[in-house]
């Protein structure tokens, strides 16, 4: 009998290699159809969920970014399917830029006529006592727009602050409250060292009492010194403010019984909702090339000052910072972060003509060489300023705006005070005097609340 060879036919009806090939082909086709079908389902699901997936990716990327633009955070909240959740996530991120934009977006997410859910009501109350002065200002404006019953208490809390700019902020939000509350609240401000605060208080008292205390706001309003960039008062403004305050005190003695004292305390919810604001760690190099990390100074109060050599207000407060460090050198660290190499809105690096001319040099230079030359010139300019001004604290060069962007240091000067535990105690824009700096440092050293007065 002939033994069948592979591939030969068979009369017994058993399968052949052709049958196996056909079956294999069918299985391959079925598998292909299945894969195509699964792929089509996946594509359909992805297409169906494309917007939620895009929002999720955008949200997570934005929240993870330590130094996003304000526009990026605002877009993330604006285009979110759940704007409330996006706003809350930005606030709870604990990052300066995110939190500020979250408060900026509040009116967009919650129309003024719409009642606030308890969680968001507590959030905005706590924001009025925030370490970040920008956040405080935005929160108080929202409370005023909503005619929130806690506004008088939270505005009054600002009046006890050691920073005159915070006191002015609180004063500006007392205009809409009733005289029965406002008059006794303002009387202590008649002894304020700032003549503008005294005069603004007198004007409010005049509106509420109908009396005239003989002082014009124009006589004590501060102006910006063109040379230094600092706010100053005209000669004689303090004397005029004190004279008006004396007349107001006489009026107060005659009418005090008409205004029973009304104790104003910030709502418990405002304090309960406050959370520590950890300072994001960073590392930069000094002009000498030494690497410094913010966390290296844990256990001491750290004042981080964002500045440039071309900012008059920045340079003018250098003597205050030098004196501050001399008086607190055992328990205070000052870090000056130069943003001179960060391009402005016109693309100029620090406004330095020598740097702007970097593109006019040797045509054979590539971009890297020109950038290196520009950085060298900026570093030399900063070093000359440090030497000329006798700066006695480390100066760090933030070449890529990594730290300036994180702390929103584009507005200058920006100052951030970090306590010994590594939490941001204050963030504010603009120069301050030595007494105010000292009060802030003492406050941070004693771990006092931001609304307490430093004696």
pLDDT tens, 229-250? 566 777 888 999 999 999 999 9
Determine phi and psi for 286, rounding to 5 degrees: -75, 170
Mean of pLDDT values over 177-183: 92
Q: Residue 24 — very low, low, confident or very high, per pLDDT cuts 50/70/90?
A: low
Number of domains in the chain: 2
Q: Is the pLDDT of residue 255 over 90?
A: yes
97 burial type by CB count under 10 A (0-12 exposed, 13-18 middle, 19+ buried): buried
Weakest mean pLDDT among 123-137, 146-160, 336-350:
336-350
What residues have CB less than 8 Å from 104, skipping those under 6 apart?
Answer: 70, 74, 138
Structure tokens of 371? 């950038």
N-terminal to C-terminal alpha carbon distance within the chain: 118
Among 265, 296, 319, give the residue marking a domain's end: 265
Is residue 58 domain-resident?
no
Separation of alpha carbons 171 and 155, rounded Å? 7
Q: Is the pLDDT of residue 18 over 90?
A: no
CA 296 to chain centre: 23
Distances (CA, A) of 62 to 46, 71, 105, 120: 22, 11, 15, 21
Strands 332-338 and 395-397: what pairing? parallel
Is residue 206 domain-resident?
yes
Give the Cα-Cα-Cα angle 433, 437, 443 (nearest 5 degrees). 150
295 plus 434 within the same structural domain: yes
Separation of alpha carbons 139 and 151, rounded Å? 10
- The answer to whether 407 and 282 are in contact (CB under 8 A) is no
- Please report where in the chains the tokens 């108080």 appear, as a residue: 140
Mean of pLDDT values over 389-403: 95
Is residue 133 domain-resident?
no
Domain residues for the domain of 206 are 151-265
Give the Cα-Cα-Cα angle 91, 95, 101 (nearest 5 degrees). 55
CATH number for 342: 3.40.30.10
Structure tokens of 449? 């609340």
Q: Is the pLDDT of residue 43 over 80?
A: no
Structure tokens of 9? 């036919």
Distances (CA, A) of 382 to 198, 206, 302, 338, 339: 40, 50, 21, 8, 10
417 plus 349 within the same structural domain: yes
Among 265, 300, 326, give the residue marking a domain's end: 265
Higher pLDDT, 436 or 56: 436
């Amino acid at each position: 009998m002939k033994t069948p060879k592979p591939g030969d036919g068979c009369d017994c009806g058993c399968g052949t290699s052709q049958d196996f090939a056909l079956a294999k082909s069918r299985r391959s086709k079925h598998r292909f159809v299945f894969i195509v079908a699964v792929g089509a389902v996946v594509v359909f699901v992805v297409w169906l969920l494309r917007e939620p997936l895009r929002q999720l990716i955008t949200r997570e990327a934005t929240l993870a970014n330590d130094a996003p633009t304000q526009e990026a955070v605002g877009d993330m909240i604006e285009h979110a399917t759940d704007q409330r959740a996006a706003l809350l996530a930005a606030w709870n991120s604990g990052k300066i830029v995110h939190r500020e934009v979250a408060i900026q977006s509040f009116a967009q997410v919650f129309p003024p006529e719409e009642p606030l859910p308890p969680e968001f009501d507590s959030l905005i109350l706590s924001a009025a006592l925030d370490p970040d002065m920008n956040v405080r200002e935005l929160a108080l404006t929202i409370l005023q727009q909503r005619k929130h019953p806690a506004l008088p208490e939270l505005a009054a809390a600002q009046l006890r602050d050691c920073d005159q700019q915070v006191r002015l902020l609180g004063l500006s939000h007392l205009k809409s409250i009733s005289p029965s509350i406002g008059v006794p609240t303002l009387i202590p401000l008649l002894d304020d060292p700032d003549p503008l605060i005294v005069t603004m208080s007198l004007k409010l008292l005049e509106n509420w009492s109908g009396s005239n205390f003989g002082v014009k706001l124009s006589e004590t309003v501060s102006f910006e010194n063109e040379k230094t960039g600092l706010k100053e008062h005209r000669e004689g403004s303090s004397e005029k403010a004190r004279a008006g305050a004396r007349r107001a005190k006489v009026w107060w003695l005659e009418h005090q019984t008409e205004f029973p004292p009304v104790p104003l305390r910030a709502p418990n919810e405002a304090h309960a909702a406050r959370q520590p604001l950890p300072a994001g760690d960073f590392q930069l190099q000094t002009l000498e090339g030494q690497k410094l990390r913010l966390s290296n100074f844990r256990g001491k109060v750290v004042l981080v000052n964002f500045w440039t050599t071309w900012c008059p207000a920045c340079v003018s407060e250098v003597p205050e910072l030098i004196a501050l460090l001399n008086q607190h050198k055992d328990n205070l660290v000052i870090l000056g972060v130069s943003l001179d190499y960060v391009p402005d809105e016109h693309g100029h690096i620090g406004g330095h003509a020598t740097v702007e001319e970097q593109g006019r040099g040797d045509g054979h230079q590539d971009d890297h060489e020109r950038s290196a030359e520009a950085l060298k010139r900026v570093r030399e300019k900063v070093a000359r300023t440090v030497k000329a001004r006798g700066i006695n604290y480390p100066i760090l060069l933030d070449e890529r705006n990594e730290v300036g962007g994180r702390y929103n240091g584009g507005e200058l000067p920006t100052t951030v005070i970090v306590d010994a535990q590594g939490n941001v105690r204050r963030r504010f824009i603009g120069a301050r005097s030595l007494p105010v700096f000292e009060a802030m440092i003492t406050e941070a050293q004693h771990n006092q609340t931001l609304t307490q007065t430093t004696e």
